[in-house]
């Protein structure tokens, strides 16, 4: 299972690197497409790993992640609803705040995901040392 988590985590990092490297060639649409794919990937990954986060002592961190995700998604959809009441220039501010928040949330998820993987590796190593004695 830890190999699968490592593949998941490093796959997300490779996608993020490709997303950043695509900016000179595909400009903003390539970055946004990559951010959308990465966001969906991280939501699936977080939903599958939430149980492990909670039982490994990272309940507060994963709860913060889910609250930030819900807030960011609400802000994004709220901007589409508010488009009827405000000008498009004012709505773009909300959309860019949401996009910047999505990037920050992605980085936060990687941080806690790396901590989880490291914790699991150390726990398995300690379990192996204790069993060998």
In this prediction the pTM is: 0.91
The structural domain count of the chain equals 1
pLDDT of residue 119: 95
State the pLDDT confidence band at 133, using cuts at 50, 70 and 90. Answer: low
CA angle 89, 90, 95 (to 5 degrees): 90
Residue 132 has pLDDT above 80, yes or no: no
Residues 130, 122: Cα–Cα separation, whole Å = 12
Q: What is the pLDDT of residue 129?
A: 77
pLDDT in tens, 56-113: 999 999 999 999 999 999 999 999 899 889 998 999 999 999 999 999 999 999 999 9
83 half-sphere exposure, CB direction, 13 A CA radius: 9
SS3 at position 117: helix
Distance from chain centroid for Cα 73: 13
Lowest-confidence segment of 13-17, 22-26, 50-54 by average pLDDT: 22-26
- Domain assignment of residue 50, given as a range: 2-132
HSE, CB side, 13 Å, CA atoms: give it for residue 13. Answer: 11
């Amino acid at each position: 299972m830890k190999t699968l988590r490592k593949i998941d985590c490093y796959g997300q990092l490779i996608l993020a690197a490709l997303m950043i490297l695509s900016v000179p060639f595909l400009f903003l649409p390539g970055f946004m497409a990559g951010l959308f794919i990465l966001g969906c990937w991280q939501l699936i990954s977080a939903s599958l790993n939430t149980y492990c986060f909670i039982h490994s002592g990272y309940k507060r961190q994963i709860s913060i992640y889910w609250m930030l995700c819900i807030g960011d998604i609400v802000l994004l959809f709220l901007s589409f609803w508010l488009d009827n009441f405000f000008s498009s220039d004012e709505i773009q501010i909300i959309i860019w705040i949401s996009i910047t928040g999505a990037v920050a949330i992605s980085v936060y998820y990687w941080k806690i995901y790396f901590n989880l993987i490291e914790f699991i590796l150390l726990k398995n190593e300690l379990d192996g040392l204790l069993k060998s004695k």
